[in-house]
Amino acid sequence: MQLPLTLFLVHLTCVHGWKTLRVPHAEGRDDTPTLTALLHNFTMDSTILFEEGHIYNIWTPLAFPSGLQNVEIRIEGNLTYPDDITTVQGIVGSSSFPGAWFSFNGGTNVTLRGSRKPNWGWVDGHGQAWWDVNEQTNRPHGWSFKKITNGVIRDMKIWKPVAWNFATSGSVNLHAFNNRISALSDTDVRPFRLSFSAGGTNMLFEDNFIQNGDDCLTIGSGAKNIHFRNSYCEGGHGLSIGSLGKGGSVADVQDVLIENVIMRSTLYGARFKSWTGGNGLARNITWRNIALEDIYITQNYWDQGVGPKTNSSSINNTRVQDFLFDGFFGTIRDIPYVEGSCVTDPCWYAVPGATGKEVAILDLYPDTASNVIAKDIFARTQTGSAVAVMCNSTTVTNDVGFKCWNGPFVRTSAGF
């Protein structure tokens, strides 16, 4: 039986006009409906507190009211998704699903804050069950932090998320720091989750610890002035721009700096991906001081689920301009291994002619790239074989920092 609303009034405190909602919890019941009914009273100058000592059942999506002003959401207790796959799929597949399990849609001065205590502040996605059966239909994306001005995401801890974690589309002036995403499998199956999807303006991501099975960072169209630094990424696909230009859309990404990142057991270190037939421009992108896997730029990105990779000489491709890869160091895994994200043969990341020893692959189209440079690249292979590159000198004509060919890595003047 649901408790009457009057019993929840003891959870409200007010100090100098600032209100605190201590989120009510009922054992064995979904906590979302009761909280949703109260939120409209806490859209300004408020703290919404998930209290330590409780495991809150967020068994249906939680949508915060639009237009929040001066609101802090503090997750000091633990939160849990439903642990039944079919139940979640039914919710995600419905027409009323808001696009993410936790969603924000507009606001100013909004903080999403976890706990620094090791056993509290976790959000449990129960992803292991999904990974074990390789289920990717109607997965629940995590947190949509959309259209927030002056936002903070800090100290959040995500445990085995099923799908994407944090998306920041349309937000301005965001600081995301000291967050932890733990999406490593207990078995041989591979998690397939994306951590941060940056889609706004003036954003700083720093001091984040990420273990996942997809992009550690992806920067989408419309993103400008993005800084990602001093972080750790393990088990994913790299620090990525895109994918851009799907279905011929016009992309616009500018002024991105990614620096001081440790990449461990990732498919790529730095990565740019755009779809054949796309339009627009990605400009002024720098990756600096990266403990690498590889560098990969492709304008021929594709979706395994829709058929074979497109081969095209179309002049319509997202342009790249002023790309700098500065200070990459580490070991290239040229011993064959199973990366785990393939659903077709050849795999989505297969490059014809690649040997697995490449430190850089520039898969570009003619007249689409200018001022692409890789400097201070120091790499070796696991086997001790010569490090290689793939590059077509007809597609990028400036000195890229190494001899532009399909062959051994030979540094040129721009590479020093």
- What are the residue numbers of the active site? 237
Amino acid making up residue 47: T
Return contacts of 5-9, CB within 8 angstroms, 24+ apart.
Answer: 5/37, 8/34, 8/38
Amino acid making up residue 339: E
Strands 388-391 and 407-408: antiparallel
Amino acid making up residue 168: T
What are the helix and strand counts (H, E) for the chain?
A: 3, 29
Extract the tokens encoding 283: 């400009």
Give the closest residue to 156 by CA, choosing from 72, 60, 44: 72
Residue 49 pairs in a beta bridge with: 22, 74
Distance CA 138, CA 142 (A): 12
Q: Coil, strand or helix: which one is 270?
A: strand
Distance CA 122, CA 389 (A): 42
Give the closest residue to 302 by CA, choosing from 246, 358, 248: 246
Cβ within 8 Å of residue 154, ≥6 positions away: 111, 112, 113, 114, 175, 176, 177, 178, 179
Which residue's structure tokens are 């000091």? 76
